Structure 1
Amino acid sequence: MKKIFTIAFILLAGFATKSHAQGFKLGLGLEGALPLGNMKSAYNFGAGLTFRGAFSIDESSAVTVTTGAIAFLPKDLSNLGIDSKAQLNIPVKAGFKYNVGGPVYLIGEAGATIIRSYYSDANGDLQSVGSTHFTYAPGLGVNLGGFDASLRYEGYEGQSFMGLRLGFNF
């Protein structure tokens, strides 16, 4: 997990060394997530923070790299004998962003999501289980100067959610 996060950080830092004139932007975004499908039965919602680097190819397209963390808060499953605490998702995605006109853009990203699920065992001790899965995330957004808002569907290994990202580009 640390290796993937380190690689993502190095990629973002590498993009940041390019001059602003070449079209590099780094963004910080607040994330909101609404679980869908199988994920909806265990989690109410998610929230987090992501970083997105975008390197312009031309006036209408850019290559993106996104990472961060999104925590999902569980529903009360005590009636099923499950004491789930939370699920933490750390996405590491690369993608392509295309401006379709005006401030509106389409974005598609793919990569890996590191998932860590926390729960209490029979003794009440906090335990966790982790996994890494291929992730895909098509979306639609609006870029208004330094402000960026996007809506996306994100899916991996039988789980999915609708994500809303409100960001600011530097």
Structure 2
Amino acid sequence: MKKIVTIAIIILAGFATRSHAQGFKLGLGVEGALPVGALKSAYNVGAGLTIRAAFGIDDASAVTLTSGAIAFLPKDLSNLGIDTKAQLNIPVKAGYKYKFGGNFYGIAEAGATIVRSYYSDSNGDLQSVGSTHFTYAPGVGVELGGFDASIRYEGYQGAGFMGLRVGFNF
């Protein structure tokens, strides 16, 4: 897990030396997430931070690289004998972004999400289980100057969430 995140950071840092004239943008975003599918049965909402690099191909399109962390807050499942704590998702996605005209764009990304779920065992000790899943995330958004807002569906392994990202591009 640490290796994937480290590699993503090194790639982003390497491309950060490119100038804006070459079509490079780096954006930081705040995420909000509403679980759907299997994820909805155990978690209410999620929130996190992401970083997105966009490498311009031409005036209308760019290749993207996105990573960050999104934490999901659990529902109360104590009536089922389950003491769920939280789930942490760390996506590492590459994609394509296309401006439709004006400030609106479509984006499609795919990659891997590292999922770490936390729970209490029968002794009350905190435990966790982890896995990595193929992830896909189609969405639409709008850019106004450096401000960037988008909505997407992000899915993996029979679960997923509707995500809202509000960020700023440098």
TM norm. shorter chain > 0.5: yes
Give the Å deviation of 1:133: 0.3
How many angstroms does 1:140 deviate by? 0.2
- Displacement of 1:128 after TM fit? 0.4
Q: Whole-Å Cα distance in 1 between the matches of residues 19 and 32 of structure 2?
A: 31
CA positional deviation for 1:87: 0.2
1:59-102 per-residue CA deviation (whole Å, 9 max, x = no partner) reads 00000000000000000000000000000000000000000010
Alignment of 1:148-163 (within 5 A): 148-163=148-163
Matched residue type, 2:111: G
2-side partners of 1:54 and 1:10: how far apart? 15
Partners of 2:54 and 2:15 in 1: how far apart? Answer: 8
Task: Tell me by how many angstroms 1:20 deviates.
Answer: 1.7
Partner of 2:32: 32
1:47 corresponds to which letter in structure 2? A
2:43 is aligned to 43
Q: Per-residue displacement from partner, 1:39-72 (whole Å, max 9, x unpaired)?
A: 1111000000000000100000000000000000
TM-score where L is the length of structure 1: 0.99
Q: 1:9-88 residue pairs with structure 2 within 5 A?
A: 9-88=9-88
Q: Structure 2 stretches of 5 or more lacking a match? A: none
Q: Percent identity?
A: 81
Could you tell me which runs of 5 or more consecutive residues in structure 1 were left unpaired when the two chains were aligned: none
> How far off is 1:19 after superposition?
1.6
In the superposition, the TM-score normalised over structure 2's length comes to 0.99
Provide the alpha-carbon RMSD of the alignment.
0.5
Cα shift readout 1:115-148 (whole Å, capped 9, x = no counterpart): 0000000110000000000000000000000000
Q: 1:100-115 alignment to 2 at 5 Å?
A: 100-115=100-115
- 1:86 & 1:162 partners in 2: Cα distance? 18
Q: For 1:98 and 1:169, locate their aligned partners in 2 and report how far apart those are by CA, in whole Å.
A: 16
Shift of 1:37: 1.2
Aligned counterparts of 1:132 and 1:154: Cα–Cα separation in 2: 14
Aligned to 1:122: 122
Amino acid at match of 1:6: T
